[in-house]
Amino acid sequence: MQNLLKWDYAHRGLHDKSAGIPENSLAAFKAACDSGYGAELDVHLLKDNSLAVIHDSSLLRTTGKDGNAEDLTHSELKNYFLEGTTETIPAFEDVLSIFEGHAPLIIELKTSGKNTAQLCKAVCEVLDNYKGVFCIESFDPRCLRWLRRHRPHFLRGQLSQNFIKRPSGFGKIVDFLLTLLVPNIFTRPDFIAYHHSDTKDFGFRLATKLFKKQGVVWTVTKRSDYEKAKKEKYMVIFEGFKP
């Protein structure tokens, strides 16, 4: 954790649409690493059990094509161009190769349906041979539970926010439990990654102040919010400016 605390993290890489550098692209990750930042990235499990880095399961927003990431194969990634550029959806291993030995990563696991265990296993088998610094996070508590059982030495974090203000779509009871971080009882995360505007919420304060879990804030887009987060000694995931 001390190695991770020394860095700031570019959200989906150091992307800049005006400069033709799309989010979660190899160009964005190279820019982050070259600028002295770590990066946050999103990983999906593909149809052939390989791994790709893209935020949405739906491909429409980022590539303009219909379909879901989970229905692709590794060889098909080169056919999906990001945000009208020549950048394609990167494989997980290709992103790792940029950062290994240079800067740390915050790796978010994006589950779909019932693929939690399969996704976790595939990601961890790649990371078992990775020599860089990293931690893993997810909104899905099932991922953290899997990691606690099968890779207890990997740093794991619970992603959350105030779902009462921003409903998840899974119902009021689920939103209440996730906002208060109740699943922590079973998953025992090493850190809590929480929406930067919700850090005064009871669940986050309880976890970080009483139980001394490391706080991570996302996604900070203003320098003033960045300075506030650093004063609280939170790790910062940023976007839209350079700290």
What per-residue confidence (pLDDT) applies to 149?
98
Residue 178 amino acid letter: L
Nearest 5°: phi and psi at 2? -60, -35
Quick check: 71 and 63 in contact, CB under 8 A?
Answer: no
Q: Which two tokens stand for residue 77?
A: 């990634």
Q: What is the pLDDT of residue 233?
A: 97
Cα angle at 38 between 133 and 63, to 5 degrees? 115
- Greatest Cα-to-Cα distance within the chain, rounded to the nearest angstrom: 49
Please give the share of the chain, as a percent, with pLDDT higher than 90. 100
Mean pLDDT on 118-137: 98
Cβ-contact 69, 60 below 8 angstroms: no
Q: Exposed, middle or buried: residue 219 (CB in 10 Å: 0-12, 13-18, 19+)?
A: middle
Confidence of residue 184 (pLDDT cuts 50, 70, 90): very high
Can you tell me the distance from the alpha carbon of 10 to that of 2, in angstroms, rounded to the nearest whole number? 18
Task: Return the structure tokens found at 72.
Answer: 């692709």
Location of structure tokens 């090493």 = 190
138 contacts 109 by C-beta, under 8 angstroms: yes
Q: Which amino acid is at 209?
A: K
φ, ψ of residue 213 to 5 degrees: the values are -80, 145
**Residue of 128, 115, 107 whose CA lies nearest to 53:** 107
Taking the mean position of all CA atoms in its chain, how far away is CA 149? Answer: 20
Strand residue runs (E) in the chain: 9-11, 38-45, 51-53, 105-109, 134-138, 156-160, 191-195, 214-220, 235-238
pLDDT tens by residue, 13-30: 999 999 999 999 999 999
CA angle 39, 44, 45 (to 5 degrees): 140
Summarised one tens digit per residue, pLDDT across range 73-108 is 999 999 999 999 999 999 999 999 999 999 999 999
Residue 159 CA from chain centroid, whole number: 8
pTM exceeds 0.95: yes
Helix (H) or strand (E) holding 32: helix 26-34
Of all residues in the chain, the percent with pLDDT exceeding 70 is: 100
Query: 130-158, pLDDT tens digit by residue?
Result: 999 999 999 999 999 999 999 999 999 99
